[in-house]
C-alpha cells in the first residue's frame, strides 16, 4: 500500500481503513504487516488503527504482542479507549488468563477508563465456561452496583453457566431478576432453559418452556427441537417425539443424525420397527450418511440395556441397506 507516486499518497485514514478491513477478514498477517508498513512510512497511527491491531492480536491469542502495541500506543501519545481495553481483557480471557484480565480491569479504572457491559461480559463468559459461576455472579453484582445495566448477553452468559452446572434454583432466580428488570427472554435464553430442564430429565418443565417460547412468537431452531425430541424419547414418549419431529420438518428445519439416533433408538425399544426402518430410509433420501459408526452407536445402546433381539434386528437391517459392519459391531 506504500505510495506509488500518485496524487494521493496513503494517510492515516486510508491505512486505518485497510488495516480494519484485514482485521474483519481475519487476516492477522496482512493486518500486522500493513501496520508495520505504516510505521515505516512514518505515518502515525490513531486510536482506530491501534484498536484494530490490538483487537486482531488479541483475537489470535497473542496478547503479549498486543501489550507491546499498547505500550507503543501510549508512548506515542495516543490514549487507549474502552474498546482498546475490552480487546485486551477479552484476549486474556480467551487465552485462559483470567487473573491477568482482572488485573487489567483494575488498571483500566486507574487509567480513568470505566469498564462497560462488554468488559464485564468477557470476564463472565470465561468464568462461566470454566464452571466458575459463583465468581461470575460476583462480577455481575459488581457491575450492577456500579450502575451498569446488564444486557441480554450478560444474562444469557450467566444463565448458561448455571444451566451447565445444573444449578436450576440459581438459574430461576436470575431469570426472575432479568424479567423484573424489563428484559424478556430471547431465542437463546429459551433454548438454554429447555436444555437445562432436559439435562435434568424434567420433561414437563422443558415442554412448558418450549410452549412459552412458541407463544412469544419465537421459533425453535434445530438444536432446541432436537433437545425436546431427545428428552421425550428418553421418557418413553416416542409418539410425542415423532409429532415434534414432523413439526420440525414442516417448519423447514433439517434434523441431524443425533435427532434420528434418538428417535430410532426409542422406536426400536417400543418395537416400532417399521417406523424405525422408515426413518433409516428417510435419512438416505435426505443425504444423511448412514455410517457404521451411526449403527454401532444405536446397537451399543441396546446391548448395554440387554436388548439383544433389537440389536440383532438392527444388525440385519444394517447389512440389508448396505452398511458394512466393522470389528466393533461384531464385538458387541
Mean predicted lDDT score pLDDT of the chain? 87
**219-245 mean pLDDT:** 91
Alpha-carbon torsion 183, 186, 188, 194, what sign? positive
Cα–Cα distance between 192 and 245 in angstroms, integer?
20
Residue 90: closest CA among 113, 111, 60, 131? 60
Residue 265 lies in a domain: no
Instruction: Give percent of the chain above pLDDT 70.
Output: 96
Q: Is residue 51 part of a domain?
A: yes
Residue 144 within a domain? no
DSSP 8-state symbol, 109: H
Q: Would you state the pLDDT for residue 285?
A: 83
Q: How far apart are CA 102 and CA 239, in angstroms?
A: 51
Query: Is 109's pLDDT higher than 80?
Result: yes
Write down the pLDDT at residue 296: 78
Q: Give residue 209's pLDDT band: very low, low, confident or very high (50, 70, 90).
A: very high
Label residue 16 by pLDDT band (50, 70, 90). Answer: confident
In a domain, 153, yes or no: no
CB 37 within 8 A of CB 2: yes
Half-sphere exposure of 255 (CA within 13 A, CB side): 30
CB 318, CB 325: distance < 8 Å: yes
Q: Is 87 inside any structural domain?
A: yes
Mean pLDDT of 132-138: 95
CATH of the domain at 64: 1.25.40.10
pLDDT given at position 217: 87
- The string of DSSP letters for 38-74 reads HHHTTPPP-HHHHHHHHHHHHHTT-HHHHHHHHHHHH
What does R_g of the chain's alpha carbons equal in angstroms?
Answer: 27
User: Is the predicted pLDDT of residue 306 greater than 90, yes or no?
Assistant: no
Say which residue, 36 or 105, is predicted with more confidence.
105
Q: Does the pLDDT of residue 143 top 70, yes or no?
A: yes
pLDDT at 1: 54
Question: What is the Cα–Cα distance from 199 to 166, expressed in whole angstroms?
Answer: 8
Q: Among all chains, which residue has been given the C-alpha cell 474502552?
A: 82
- CA 52: distance to chain centroid? 24
Say what the pLDDT of residue 307 is: 78
Average pLDDT over residues 228-255: 92
Q: Out of 46-60, 180-194, 261-275, which region has the weakest mean confidence (pLDDT)?
A: 261-275
Residue 3 covered by a domain: yes
Residue 64 pLDDT class (50, 70, 90 cuts): very high
Per-residue pLDDT, 37: 83
158 close to 126: Cβ distance less than 8 angstroms: no
- Structural domain includes residue 64: yes
Tell me the C-alpha distance between 55 and 118, whole Å: 14
Please state the φ and ψ torsions of residue 206, each to the nearest 5 degrees: -65, -40
Would you state the cell numbers that stand for residue 45, as one nine-digit string? 497511527
Q: Which pLDDT score, from 0 to 100, does residue 157 have?
A: 96
Q: CA torsion 77→78→79→84, rounded to 10°?
A: -140
Range of the domain at 15: 1-113
Cα–Cα distance, 51 to 82 (Å, whole number): 10
Structural domain count, the chain: 1
pLDDT for res 302:
73
Residue recorded with cell 461470575:
136
The number of residues making up the chain comes to: 332
pLDDT bucket at 3, cuts 50 / 70 / 90: low
All cell numbers assigned to 292 = 457404521
Q: Is residue 18 part of a domain?
A: yes
pTM: 0.75
For residue 126, give the H/E element and its range.
helix 117-129
Residue 289 — pLDDT band, cuts 50, 70, 90? confident
Average pLDDT over residues 89-94: 92
Amino acid at each position: 500500500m506504500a505510495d506509488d507516486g500518485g496524487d494521493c499518497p496513503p494517510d492515516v485514514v486510508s491505512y486505518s481503513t485497510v488495516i480494519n478491513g484485514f482485521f474483519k477478514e481475519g487476516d492477522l498477517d496482512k493486518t500486522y504487516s500493513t501496520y508495520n508498513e505504516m510505521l515505516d512510512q512514518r505515518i502515525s497511527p490513531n486510536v482506530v488503527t491501534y484498536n484494530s491491531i490490538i483487537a486482531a492480536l488479541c483475537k489470535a491469542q497473542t496478547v503479549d504482542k498486543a501489550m507491546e502495541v499498547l505500550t507503543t500506543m501510549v508512548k506515542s501519545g495516543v490514549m487507549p479507549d474502552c474498546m482498546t481495553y475490552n480487546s485486551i481483557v477479552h484476549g486474556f480471557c480467551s487465552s485462559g488468563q483470567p487473573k491477568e484480565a482482572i488485573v487489567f480491569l483494575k488498571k483500566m479504572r486507574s487509567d480513568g477508563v470505566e469498564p462497560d457491559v462488554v468488559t464485564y461480559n468477557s470476564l463472565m463468559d470465561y468464568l462461566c465456561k470454566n464452571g466458575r459461576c459463583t465468581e461470575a455472579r460476583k462480577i455481575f453484582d459488581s457491575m450492577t452496583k456500579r450502575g451498569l445495566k446488564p444486557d441480554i448477553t450478560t444474562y444469557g452468559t450467566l444463565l448458561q453457566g448455571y444451566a451447565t452446572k445444573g444449578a436450576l434454583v440459581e438459574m430461576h432466580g436470575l431469570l426472575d431478576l432479568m424479567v423484573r428488570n424489563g428484559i424478556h427472554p430471547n431465542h437463546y435464553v429459551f433454548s438454554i432453559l429447555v436444555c437445562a430442564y432436559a439435562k435434568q430429565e424434567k420433561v414437563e418443565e422443558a415442554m412448558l418452556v418450549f410452549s412459552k417460547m412458541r407463544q412469544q412468537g419465537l421459533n425453535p431452531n434445530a438444536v432446541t427441537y432436537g433437545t425436546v425430541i431427545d428428552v421425550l424419547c428418553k421418557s418413553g414418549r416416542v409418539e410425542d417425539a415423532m409429532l415434534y419431529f414432523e413439526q420440525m420438518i414442516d417448519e423447514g428445519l433439517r434434523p441431524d443424525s443425533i435427532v434420528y439416533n434418538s428417535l430410532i433408538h426409542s422406536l426400536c425399544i417400543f418395537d416400532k420397527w417399521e417406523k424405525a426402518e422408515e426413518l433409516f430410509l428417510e435419512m438416505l433420501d435426505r443425504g444423511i450418511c448412514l455410517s457404521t459408526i451411526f449403527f454401532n452407536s444405536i446397537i451399543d445402546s441396546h446391548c448395554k440395556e440387554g436388548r439383544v433381539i433389537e440389536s440383532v434386528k438392527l444388525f440385519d437391517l444394517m447389512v440389508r441397506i448396505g452398511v458394512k459392519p466393522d470389528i466393533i459391531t461384531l464385538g458387541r
